[in-house]
Amino acid sequence: MTDPIQSVQPLGYGTAVSADARNKVLRNTYWLLALSLLPTVAGAWLGISTGIMRGLGGGLGLVVFLAGAFGFMYAIEKTKNSAAGIGVLLGFTFFMGLMLSRLLGAILQMKTGPSIVMTAFGGTAGVFFVMASLATVIKRDISGLGKWLFAGALVIMVGAIINVFVGSTMGAMVISTLCIAVFSAYMLYDLKRIIDGGETNYITATLALYLDIFNVFQSLLVLLGIMGDD
């Protein structure tokens, strides 16, 4: 019986997957990625309008975020080969919108808040467009980049956890700058994996790209918010 989600098994990076299959995965990934933004917006709106996330600062917010994020990602991994995986993924993006609402709420209280949010959104869209374009024209295998990006993401995560307790503005700016650089490169890497046939499950592909976009957008919000804070 053909699996409804993952019908093509890759034998290696960029091999054994037809062009039609790769295009189908890419097309489904883009559709699901666009759909995933709706629960994110809904979660952010709910968090801002009700203020339910205001009390989740410092260590408590970190624990809730890590437990929720890794719990959802584990569930997505377990259900990625079935239609249920789509529902779990959309639940995850709603959760991420809720977690983002505290930062968004703080930004929107600023005099230039709405323009900061729109600038961060436009900047993120611009980064995605550039990386998607590069992924289609780069012919060389960039799979070796993955281990370096993973190491960079680990450094950022450790730095971010430390800064939750230190509360350094300069530290937040450095971490956000590194985050934009690393996850912009991750966008290119993840898109290239799909195009080359290294990723054949569009739920997994959507999760990877969503996290790239989320991290770039959030980091731009932090940087622009700090620079625009009177």
**Total number of domains constituting the chain:** 1
Q: Is residue 83 part of a domain?
A: yes
Q: Is residue 14 part of a domain?
A: no
**What is the value of pTM for the model shown?**
0.88
Q: Is residue 13 part of a domain?
A: no
Q: Is residue 155 part of a domain?
A: yes
Q: CA–CA separation, 99 vs 202, rounded Å? A: 24
- The one-digit pLDDT tens for each residue of the chain (230 residues) are 334 443 333 434 444 567 888 889 999 999 999 999 999 999 999 999 988 887 777 677 788 888 999 999 999 999 999 999 999 999 999 999 999 999 999 999 998 889 999 999 999 999 999 999 999 998 888 888 889 999 999 999 999 889 888 888 899 999 999 999 999 999 999 999 999 888 889 999 999 999 999 999 999 999 999 887 65
Q: Is residue 27 part of a domain?
A: yes
Q: Is residue 12 part of a domain?
A: no
Q: Is residue 3 part of a domain?
A: no
pLDDT value of residue 22: 85
Q: CA–CA separation, 131 vs 109, rounded Å? A: 32
Residue numbers of the domain that contains 33: 19-227
For 80-136, the DSSP string reads TTSTHHHHHHHHHHHHHHHHHHHHHHHHHTSTTHHHHHHHHHHHHHHHHHHHHHHHH
Q: Is residue 2 part of a domain?
A: no
